[in-house]
Amino acid sequence: MRPPDRRRRLRVGQVVLIVLAVLSAAVGLWILATRTDDSAGLPVSAEVDGLAIGLYEAGWVPMDAHSMDSQGGYQMPAQMMPGAPAGNEMRLGIAVTLLNTADGVREFNLGEEVVLVGGVVDGVVRLHSDTFGLLQRLGPGSAVNGVLYFDTTVPATSDPALVLRWSRSGETFDLAIPLGSVRPAPHPHIS
C-alpha cells in the first residue's frame, strides 16, 4: 500500500482555506453594505475603488490624567499634557474596519481621506491620531480594525450631528458616527 500523497493533502487544505477566505469576505461585504444608522439616515459604511470602510462604535475618550488627585482638586496645565485636547475640546474615538474587496493591493492614507464635520465646529476637523500606525496598504481580501481620534467640542443635542467624511478616488461619503446618547462631562480647564 502506498502512503497518501502529501501534495494532494496540501492542495485540499489550500482549497478549503481559499473557500473560507472568500466566504468571510462575502459576509463582511454584506454586513458593510446593509448597515445604516437609522437616527441620522446616513450609512455607517461605504465602498469605493476596492476599499470598504465600516464604522462600528464611537465614544468620548476620558482624559482623567488632567487631574492630579482622585478628588479632581488640581488640574494639570496644558503644557504638562502635550497632545491632549485643548480648551473645551474632547477626544472622540471612532472604531472602524477597513476591508480590501479588490483582487489587488489597495493603498490608503487616512490622514488625507477622513475628516470630521458637523457639531459645533464650522468646517472640518482633521484626524488627530489613529491606531493604524504606519499601515497604508491592504492585500486582497484583508481587513484591519482600528480607531480614529479627533479633538472637537462636544455638540449639544440641538447642534448638527457629527459625521465622518471619507473622500477617496474623487468620491465623498458622509458616514453616520454610531455615537451613544450619553454626553461626556464638561471638560474642565484653567483659564
**Domain CATH number, residue 110:** 2.60.40
Q: Tell me the per-residue pLDDT of 144-171, one tens digit each, with 9 for 90 and over.
A: 999 999 999 999 989 999 999 999 999 9
> Is residue 170 a part of any domain in this protein?
yes
Answer whether residue 78 is part of any domain: yes
**What is the amino acid identity at position 138?**
L
Question: Greater confidence, 84 or 108?
Answer: 108
pLDDT of residue 81: 67
Q: What is the pLDDT of residue 17?
A: 54
Structural domains of the chain, count: 1
Is 185 a domain residue?
Answer: no
Residue 126's domain spans which residues? 35-176
Instruction: Give the predicted TM-score (pTM) of the model.
Output: 0.70
Q: 43 lies in a domain?
A: yes
Could you tell me if residue 28 is inside a domain?
no
Residue that has been written with the C-alpha cell 477566505 in this structure: 21
Q: Grid coordinates representing 57?
A: 462604535
DSSP string, the chain: -PPPPHHHHHHHHHHHHHHHHHHHHHHHHHHHHH-EETTTTEESEEEETTEEEEEEEEEEEP-GGGBSSTT---BPPGGGSTTSPPTTEEEEEEEEEEEE-SSS-EE--HHHHEEEE-TT-SSEEE--EESSTT--EE-TT-EEEEEEEEEEEPPPTTSPPPEEEEEETTEEEEEE--B-SPPPPP-----
Q: Would you say residue 28 has pLDDT above 70?
A: no
Would 82 be classed as within a structural domain?
yes
Asked whether residue 4 is domain-assigned, the answer is: no
